[in-house]
Amino acid sequence: MKFVTALAIGAIAGFILPMLLGGSYGDAWMKSFAAWGTVRPLANSPALLFSIPLFAIVTAALWKFFNWHNR
């Protein structure tokens, strides 16, 4: 897997998972431990969250797993 592909999938996961688990305004996500490292890219938009740690973990895990798997 190319690193750019892992970045794209990580970015998608960094947006989708907080929005799915956050509720309509992101309250459930932002009141849990997962709020650390989570930002709102647009100040007044409801439920638009981006989790930087989730993005980094998913990207690294996918890249390492598929690079190991291809050898």
Per-residue pLDDT reduced to its tens digit, 12-70: 999 999 988 887 778 888 888 888 999 887 877 777 889 999 999 999 999 998 887 66
Give me the pLDDT at residue 57, please: 94
| Torsion, Cα of 12, 18, 23, 24 (10° steps) | -60
CA distance 69 to 71: 6
Which is it for strands 38-39 and 50-51: parallel, antiparallel or unpaired?
antiparallel
Range of the domain at 36: 3-70
Number of domains in the chain: 1
Q: Which pTM does this prediction carry?
A: 0.82
Question: Which of 58, 50, 67, 52 has the alpha carbon at shortest distance from 7?
Answer: 58
Q: In the structure, what pLDDT confidence band is assigned to residue 71 with cuts at 50, 70 and 90?
A: low
**Phi/psi class of residue 40: alpha, beta or left (left: φ > 0; alpha: ψ in -120 to 50)?**
beta
